[in-house]
Structure 1
Amino acid sequence: MVRKASMSPVGSDDAVLLVLGSLPGEASLAAQRYYAHPRNQFWRLLGDAIGEPLATLDYEERLARLAARRIALWDVVSEATRSGSLDGAIRGATANPLADYVETHGDLRAVAFNGQTAAKIGRRALIGSALTLIDLPSSSPAYTLSYAAKADRWSVLGPLAPSAKSGRMA
């Protein structure tokens, strides 16, 4: 198996909402872009939740929209051994320094975990945190919950993302 490393956080430097995945899949690592696999529903789910057409935009515009809405993306795993892209294949994971990130981002109010693996590792790293922690169904096509059911659960993120115009929480 190959040792794989996560990417740096992207989006807003003054984030109020941090969305954490587990470890980027093969397509994302190859492209060095979060959620690059065309079947991953992340951009559509997050876009629907915050009222932005993220899935229709190019990657750099997606990141600009996240920054405008004070949202950041990262992963809970810094590096791990994994064959393929499935979370179930992650072995020997080293966690990213999530507590340090929280400590240096004083405006942060909520952390959302994209999938069970992200939630399990992330919640352990943030024990005792005063932040709102939200477990979401995975945006991966391997997680077969219907899009409508996923979107319903992801909709809780909308009120947590400030309006791009006012800077106030929606």
Structure 2
Amino acid sequence: MKIQSFPSISDANAKILILGTMPGAQSLTLNEYYGNRRNHFWQLLFAIFNEPYTTDYQEKKSLLLKNHIALWDVLQDCVREGSLDSAILQEVPNDFTNFLKAHPNITHIFFNGQQAAKFFKKYVTVDNNYTLVTLPSTSPANAGISYEGKLKAWRQILR
């Protein structure tokens, strides 16, 4: 099945870009980044910024913008059955050349998992002005790392 990613959540003040690979099936159904309630992404971000967690999607988006974070996916579209990144075929990357030009304050790009980093490095070349950091995937499929372990790693965003 051919699927498409969402538009970025971003504004001109973004200093950090967090990249996933492609929304999973539940996220696509809900039309929300990290819509799978078992995915730790939103819980981790609210914990990192010492904010009370909420399921309200508008408040989630506001948390990102308030903390100068842009959120997007590496891939614009692909063919995939199910939600696993390992099942991605016929991938097409998003337009990072224009995105980064439109967001000149971004200095750090964080990848939500190895697959996001892999696809980014396959299709995108950026200069040394950017710090690239691969973080553990927040996906429930990444059960090898505890929530606490993910939280410790994801705190790098604060530096």
TM-score range, shorter chain: over 0.9
Matched, 1:21 2:29: no
TM-score w.r.t. the length of structure 1 is: 0.87
Shift of the 108–127 alpha-carbon distance from structure 1 to 2, 3 Å rule, reads closer
1:99 aligned partner? 97
Alignment of 1:118-133 (within 5 A): 118-124=116-122, 125-133=124-132
Q: Percent identity?
A: 37
| Mapped contact 1:98–1:122 kept (Cα < 8 A) | no
Q: Distance in 1 between matches of 2:146 and 2:69?
A: 25
What do you get for the CA RMSD once the two structures are aligned?
Answer: 1.4
Q: In structure 2, give the amino acid aligned to 1:105.
A: H
Corresponding residue pairs, total: 157
1:81 aligned partner? 79
| Mapped contact 2:13–2:105 kept (Cα < 8 A) | yes
Matched, 1:156 2:156: yes
- Which has the larger displacement, 126-135 or 34-43? 126-135
Q: In structure 1, give the amino acid aligned to 2:83.
A: S
1:113 aligned partner? 111
**Structure 1 gap ranges (5+):** 160-170
Deviation of the 1:69 alpha carbon: 1.1
Q: Distance in 1 between matches of 2:17 and 2:76?
A: 16
Q: In structure 2, give the amino acid aligned to 1:108.
A: I
1:135 aligned partner? 134
